[in-house]
Each structure stands twice: as structure tokens, then as C-alpha cells.
Amino acid sequence: MLDGETGAVGVTEATVTQTVLAAMQADGGRTAVVDRGRELRRAWFAEAVPAAARGLRWHGVRAGDVGAIHLADACDLALAVHAVGAAGAVPAPLPPGASAEDLAVMMTEVGARFLLTDRETAVRSLAAADASYVRQAFAFGDVPGATPFGRLLETGAGFGEPPPPDPLRDAALRLARPREDVTHADRLADLYRLGGAVTLGEDDVLVCCGSDVPVRTWIGLIDLCLVQGAAFAGVPEPGARDLLEAILKYDATAVVVSPAKLRALAFDHGAVPMPGVRVLVTGTPSTEAAHACRARHGWTVSPLA
């Protein structure tokens, strides 16, 4: 839930998906997530997640099942994680760039029984699924051998809700290598921690490339934007110039980067998109790079606690 004065996220007995959807339903048609030329609106997201969850249950997904999520697009990732969670299952996000061989091992290690993929990742993830215990696949876009995600929105009307999870004990995420279960309370604590590092509002746009942060942080940053009313903009390519272009394209007010990316941004000799951007660094920022960002670009730099 939101703290009305600070915008911080409080740890409650609700699940993280319930917390996100409660914030989304009041925000109408504003942008929630953009990536790769796609845009998700907040009101549509709030309707699509429970509808997809019912569709997953109609297709046989049950409470406690683990769903491997192999997606490169932040829009699809946000939908997949929350739809799987709302169905009572456990989302297990896997690295988008992993090989089919590594994915098969990780799918087995996390105990995945179903898969969510897309056209960009399907060749590797479907090959991996054939070598694991995955029984069925769902896909964003037209992928042979997988049920389209859009069909989930059309099925399952009236299907019963899953039993409520225990936020303190039940997993909201299962991470691979090393395997770790992250509870709903843990995820809400992540939001509280991230909210302490950066307070966002309706006029804010947070830009981040998934390769710059661990997957748990990547998902947490998306959720922070969803809960605090900001827009999240994904950057598909890992280059510093791609990040700078995204800052300009989306009129970003905040950006999350690795220490190495901070140095690249600080000493980039091209045109600086805009002043006043808050730069949040995933590790200890170089003093030299932080000073250069402030002096050359007018950007503030602080660690992402």
C-alpha cells in the first residue's frame, strides 16, 4: 500500500500483486510500462492481469505450480509476473539471453511446469522446455506450439479464485542460480527499500536496461513505478548511447544504471539529452564519475539502496 505523505510502499498482509493492482485501478489511462515501441496503459493492465490469471487456471495452472518466464520485454514481463502470481502460481524469471541448454537446466532446477515466452526468446525457451518438465507454453505474439497470451484473456470467465497465499511464507518469485524463493513480504519490503531510494510520482519516467540490474531488482523497479504512479521505460540494448537516447525519447526524470554504465554516461562526448535527471547506481558509484555527471550534465547521482 502507499504511504499518503511519502509515496513509500508499506509492508502489509496483502500480496504484491494485490498491492500493485489496487494502485493501478485508480490511475485510468496513463502509461504504465513502455518498451520496444509498445505501451501498456494502467487501466488495461489492471483488467488484463486478473483475466489472464483466470485463463491460466482454466488451462490447468494450479496454486503452487511454478511458471518459467523467459521474456525480454518489460511490458510482457510485468504482465507475466503478475498474471502468474494472481493465478496462485510462482513466477520464475529466467535470464533473457541464456542459451537453450542453460535454460533447460534452470527450468528443471526451479521446478517449472509451464512457460511464458515471446517471439524474441521462443526458439531457445521452447527448445529448453522440451528438455525439462514443462508441460505447456504460453506466448506473447504468434509462436507455433504455444497458446497465445491473448487467448488467456478470453477464457476462464467465472473460474474460481485460487486459495489465498500466506504473504509471509509463500513464494512470490523463484529465482534461479542460486535458487531462492522470495516471499510476498520480501517483495513488498523490496518496494519499501526502493521507495526510500527514489520517490516517484505521476510526472516521473524511470528508465532502466534489464542487463544493468539483477532480475529481482528489475521486477522491483517496474513494480515501484506501477505502485507510485510513474511510468517505467525499458531499454532493449545495453549500450550507454542507447540509454541516453531513451532518456531523451521518454523525457526521463530518473535512470538506474550499473557503476560501469555511470562512467560511460559521465564521460560520453555526445550530446547530453537533458539536465535534472536523477541517476541511481546499483553499486558504489565512482566519485570521479559522479562529479562528472553533476558538472557536465547537471545530474544528481546516488546509490540505489
Sequential pLDDT tens for the chain (305 residues)? 344 433 444 445 788 999 999 888 766 688 999 999 899 999 999 999 999 999 999 999 999 999 999 999 999 999 999 999 999 999 999 999 999 999 999 999 999 999 999 999 999 999 999 999 999 999 999 999 999 999 999 987 777 788 888 889 999 999 998 899 999 999 999 999 999 888 999 999 999 999 999 999 999 999 999 999 999 999 999 998 899 899 999 999 999 999 999 998 888 767 666 788 999 999 888 899 999 988 888 899 999 87
Q: What is the pLDDT of residue 44?
A: 93
CB-based contact 129:107 (threshold 8 Å): yes
Domains and CATH numbers, the chain: 42-162+170-181 (3.40.50.980), 186-303 (3.40.50.980)
Prediction pTM value: 0.92
Across-strand partners of 31?
A: 41
